[in-house]
Amino acid sequence: MILTETVYSLRKRAHLARWGKMSEWLQFHIFTGLVGPYMVLLHTSWKFNGVAGAVTLLTIVVVMSGFIGRYIYTRIPRTADGIEIDTPLGEAQAATIANARRLLALWHTVHIPIGMALFTAAVVHIAGALYYATLLK
């Protein structure tokens, strides 16, 4: 979760840093965004109790949101490096791309706060598990 949420976000905002291509970082984000939730589901054994249950449900919501975002993202023409192409297009195609850009912006306003809520709930869950499993004994 740390790799998926924080490192990718830092790289995305560090425009001057040259830590690799953004398209490769997006692929990394997608990979860790699929492997991590799979591990969460294995860890929970599909039980939805307490804070751990909230983390599991938020994980599922964030992953589903990610699939939607990836679909919207592919509707915007890009170079091989992931940079948006701003070429003159026909009116109908330009309108479709403008709609996709608006949808992607709306998607970001939903996906990112849910991801932050997931991260916060996971930290609370980990802190509680450590407290009850080790410090309380």
Each residue's pLDDT, cut to its tens digit, for the chain (137 residues) gives 776 777 777 777 776 667 777 778 778 888 888 898 898 888 888 888 888 888 899 999 999 999 999 899 888 877 666 667 776 667 787 788 888 889 999 999 999 899 889 989 999 998 998 898 887 76
Torsion angles phi and psi, residue 100, rounded to 5: -65, -40
One-letter identity of residue 82: G
Q: Domain segments of the chain: what residues?
A: 2-135
3 state DSSP class of 78: strand
Kindly give, in sequence order, each residue whose CB lies less than 8 Å from that of residue 108, ignoring residues fewer than 6 positions away. 69
Res 106: pLDDT: 94
One-letter identity of residue 39: M
Kindly give, in sequence order, each residue whose CB lies less than 8 Å from that of residue 72, ignoring residues fewer than 6 positions away. 100, 103, 104, 107
Res 114: pLDDT: 93
Res 61: pLDDT: 93
User: Any bridge partners for residue 78, and if so which?
Assistant: 84
- Using alpha carbons, select from 10, 63, 70, 71 the residue that is nearest to residue 35: 63
One-letter identity of residue 124: V
Q: How far apart are CA 133 and CA 119, in angstroms?
A: 21
62 to 39, 68, 102, 109: CA distances (angstroms): 14, 10, 20, 12
pTM over 0.85, yes/no: no
